[in-house]
Structures are given as C-alpha cells and as structure tokens.
Amino acid sequence: MTGKPGSHVTRSDLAGEYRRVRAETEQICVLLQADDYQLQSITQTSPPKWHIAHVSWFFEAFVLPDFVAGYRPFHPRFGYLFNSYYETVGSMQPRSTRGMLSRPTVDEVYRYRAYVDEQMLSLIESVDDNRWTDLAFRITLGLNHEQQHQELLFMDIKHNFSVNPLRPGYSQTLQDTQDGSVPVQWIEREGGIMEIGHAGDDFAYDNETPRHQVLLQDHKLASRPVTNAEYLAFIADDGYTRPELWLSDGWSLINRDGWRQPLYWQQQDGQWQQFTLGGMRELNPDEPVCHVSFYEADAYARWAGKRLPSEAELELMLAQQPVTGNFTDHAILHPQPGEGQWYGDVWEWTATPYGPYPGFKPLAGSMGEYNGKFMCNQMVLRGGCCVTPPGHARASYRNFFYPDERWVFSGLRLAEDG
C-alpha cells in the first residue's frame, strides 16, 4: 500500500463501508444450506464456514488487540482454526483439513462475526484521533481482504458443488448469458518506456507498488477474450495431444490428470455442457472460455500463432478503460459474450511471473505476509471476473495463481508482437 488511505476517510463513511462489505459476505451465503457450509472438495477450496470465520479472524489478528486494551478474543482457539497462512502470528489448522471442522457450528460462526462487528464498530467510533489514520488503513485492508474472500466463496462453492453427481446449482435465479459472437479486432499499441504500478492515495495492495518504469515493444492486443467456440477449435485440432504446443510442465500435467477440456466441461450425447453456479448448462460458444489453467492458456496462444500479453501490456490498456464490466452486481456469476471486457467476466492469464516490482517493500510486521511471500512460481492475472465484487477491480490490481490452477474464473486474451 502507498500513501495513507485512512487519512481522508471519515468515521461514519468507514463504518458504513464496514457494514456494507460484511453484509455482502453474508448475502452470498444466504442461498446456502447448513450442509453446504462444510464442504471442502480439494485442498485449494475452503468451506464457506471457514471463509466467513477467517475474514472475521483477520480483524481479531490485525486490528482489535492493537487498538482495544485488554481485548478478549471471541474464543481462545479460533486463532488456530482460522489463521490461513500467517506464520508469524502463530500455528494453524492445516489447509487441507479445514473441512474437518464440524465445530464450531455455522450458528456459532455467525455469532463470532456479530461479536467482531460489535467490537469493530465501537472501535471506529471511539478510537483516538491520533490513531485514526493507522486504524482506517488496517480496516480498509481488512475489508479488501474480505472482498477477495467473497470472490473465493463463489469459486469454492462452484467447485464444492461440482463434485456432487447431482450437479446442484448454487442459485436457481441467475440470468442466462446472451448469444452473439463478436469478431475480434487487433488493437495496435505503441511501445516505449512506460510506467505501471499504483500511485496516489487510494487503496492498493503492497504488491502493486512502487510505480516504476517498464520497456515495452510495439504490440497488438485482441479486443476481447478468447471464446468457447475458438477454444473448441483448438480441441478439435488435437490441441491437447500435440506436445509441440505445450510447456513441459503443462504437458506432464494434462497427461497425468487426463485433461482434454477446461474444468467443468463435459460432453453429453455429443453436446458440450458446462457446470455453472446455476447448475449444468449447454456450452454457449460465444462466451469467453473460462476455467483454463495457465498451461492451457499458453498452449492455446501458441496454437493460434499468438502469445499471452504481459501484465504491463494489460495494465496500460486497463488504465485507459472505465472500470466497468460483468461483476457480481450483474447477478450472472458467469462470463458472458461481449466486446472489450477489459474488466470483469474472466481473470486473464498474463505471460508474467508474479514477482516483486523494483523497490517493492512488503507491509510492516505480520501483514507483510499478505502478498510478498508468494512471489515465486505463480503467474499474474489481470482485470477481475464475473464473481469479483464491483469496486474491487482496478488497473494496477495483480491477482496471482499457480499455473496449474483452474477453479479460478480464469480465461485469456491474445496478444502479438509488432
């Protein structure tokens, strides 16, 4: 984070934002049954119950004890259960066993949330003026953290439900996506010495800073992400069985695990279907392809005679676009056909490994574990997706995942040199 985002927000505005974000998390869970809260289909997906407790723990770990004298946590062992990966804070329940926690119950976790909310709202009202900037900064971080988990909730619920042979939909009332193929245009982009990274006083994570120079060559960007129809052509052209298209690690992976299509796709009587948050649907060829790994995105680009854009190429383009798109407020929760789609719909894999910007400094103390320690072996994605909350996307935002992960709403856009 740069600047001090807390310095220009009022107490009532921040209290309002706190209530809004916390309520939004609970709204996502309204459609869940108690049984759904417990599921953890793979190590990467956490049970919804764990998510909603963990985002509350974040305030107990990084805010309340530092500002409230003699603060008593809701439960002395919740720090162990709901710490995610903050080693300097203490030990934790192993990630792969979060689904083993039938206790605390869902009701208890909601009481935990209410307890933390009461403490936090009273702190916002009562903290000394001379500590306001620090407090506001940490709460803003905590709320952005919670919004990241809102996105994870949708991703994880989708995967958790997908392994059930009944293929239950999370929601029965989601809008269908429209039809309509949009021809791709190639947008010419001039190279040169450019600047990327976050600047200014608005909130950003530490990994988006500092702003710095990059050298870009002239290049072209596709005017929209790759569609299902285009990806089907790659499959039909034996894309998954031609080693010359694949990075070595990707080739090993797809053969080891038998991948022959994106996650959630299946063929039924010769027709392609896909699992969505609304249950099984016919594959709409005009939608952006989603739930592909970095390896699949890279192989597709090679097959198409193009390449993935770098994160700098995408950020500079994003910075020239309005931050609008198919986010959660569209209530589709699925990528839909369209043009541009710089923000929303699908996170776009880039060719850039996730690493520190020149001069990067992690946040002080345990909050420095938020981003910096993951800067190895992951790839950057840009732009946000259909399960990103509106207001949580920006040009400089760096998402990152391992190249084999595809339960993320991840797609791709093509680029080419010159």
Asked whether 189 and 223 are in contact (CB, 8 A), the reply is no
Residue nearest to Fe ion (CB): 84
Q: How far is the CB of 54 from Fe ion (least distance, A)?
A: 6
Say how far apart CA 139 and CA 120 lie, in whole Å: 9
Q: How far is the CB of 41 from Fe ion (least distance, A)?
A: 19
Stretch (H or E) spanning 247: none
Asked whether 414 and 187 are in contact (CB, 8 A), the reply is no
Q: Residue 66 has which token pair?
A: 């530092």
Spatial CB neighbours of 113, under 8 Å, sequence gap ≥ 6: 22, 26, 52, 53, 56
Q: How far is the CB of 55 from Fe ion (least distance, A)?
A: 7
Q: Which is nearer to Fe ion, 84 or 399 (CB)?
A: 84
Q: Which is nearer to Fe ion, 61 or 415 (CB)?
A: 61
DSSP state of 382: E
Residue 281: strand pairing partners: 274
DSSP state of 47: P
CB-facing half-sphere around the CA of 316: CA atoms within 13 A: 24
Q: How far is the CB of 287 from Fe ion (least distance, A)?
A: 29
Q: Which is nearer to Fe ion, 86 or 265 (CB)?
A: 86
Q: Which is nearer to Fe ion, 275 or 407 (CB)?
A: 407
Q: How far is the CB of 83 from Fe ion (least distance, A)?
A: 9
Q: How far is the CB of 362 from Fe ion (least distance, A)?
A: 16
Q: Residue 208 has which token pair?
A: 């988006």
Residues near Fe ion, by CB under 5 A: 84
Q: How far is the CB of 295 from Fe ion (least distance, A)?
A: 26
Q: Which is nearer to Fe ion, 292 or 367 (CB)?
A: 367
Say how far apart CA 112 and CA 142 lie, in whole Å: 16
Asked whether 317 and 194 are in contact (CB, 8 A), the reply is no
Q: Which is nearer to Fe ion, 84 or 144 (CB)?
A: 84
Provide the sign of the torsion angle of the four alpha carbons 299, 261, 386, 51, taken in this order.
negative
Q: Which is nearer to Fe ion, 84 or 150 (CB)?
A: 84
CB-facing half-sphere around the CA of 364: CA atoms within 13 A: 4
Name the residue type at position 287. Answer: E
